[in-house]
Amino acid sequence: MVAWWEPKIEGPVDLSEVKNWIISLRRQGIKLGRVTFDRWQSFDIQNELKQVGIKTDTLSVGKAHYEDMAMLVYEDRVVMPQIELLLDELTELRIVSDKKVDHPRKKSKDLADAVCGAIYNSVSLSKREQNQMIEVHDFKSARNKWREEEKDPLFDSPDPKEQSVWDTYLQGIGMM
C-alpha cells in the first residue's frame, strides 16, 4: 500500500499525522516489514517509529531504482493502478545524470518516488527463492476485495472512535 499526503494551504504536511497513521496501520494488524522515507525531514519521524518497534530506513530513489522498476513493468511483473497523478509524474521524469532522475520545474515526483521505492523494497527485501508478481493496489479495489471476502481489516473495528480516526485520515489523503 502506498499513501501520500499533499501540503495544505496553511503549510506543509503534518508529519505527526503521517506517523500516527502508520502506527494505526500496525494496530489494525497490518504487518509492516519496513517503512522508508526520503531524506527530507525524515530523521525525527523515523526515530519516533523506531521507538514503537517499527523498522524504518532512508531510501533516496535514483536512476538505478527507476531502471529496475521499468524492467519489471516491461516484463509484466508489476501491476499498478491507473492513477492520473502517478502517470503524469512518471511520464514527466527526466534523466539528468548517470545517477539522478528529476522532475520538471514546478512539478513533483514524490508519488513516483514512493511507488518506485515500494517496488524496490518489495523486490530487495523478499526472499530470493520466491518468484512472485508484485501487485500494487489502489485503496478502492483493495476495499472491494476485502468486502467480497466479508472482512475489511481496515474498517472492521469494534471501537467507533477508531472508525472515526480512520475516516479522518483517509479523507485527506490519496491512496494507491
CA distance 36 to 2: 11
User: Using one digit for the tens of pLDDT, what is the confidence trace for 4-41?
Assistant: 788 888 888 888 999 999 999 999 888 888 999 887 77
pTM of the model: 0.66
User: Using one digit for the tens of pLDDT, what is the confidence trace for 60-107?
Assistant: 998 899 899 989 888 888 887 778 888 898 888 888 787 788 787 888
Return the pLDDT at 175: 46
The whole-chain average pLDDT of the chain stands at 79
Q: Is the dihedral of CA 104, 175, 164, 34 positive or negative?
A: negative
Return the pLDDT at 152: 46
Average pLDDT over residues 141-168: 56
Return the pLDDT at 122: 86
Is the pLDDT score of 53 beyond 90? yes
String of DSSP letters for 39-65: STT-HHHHHHHHHTT--EEE----HHH
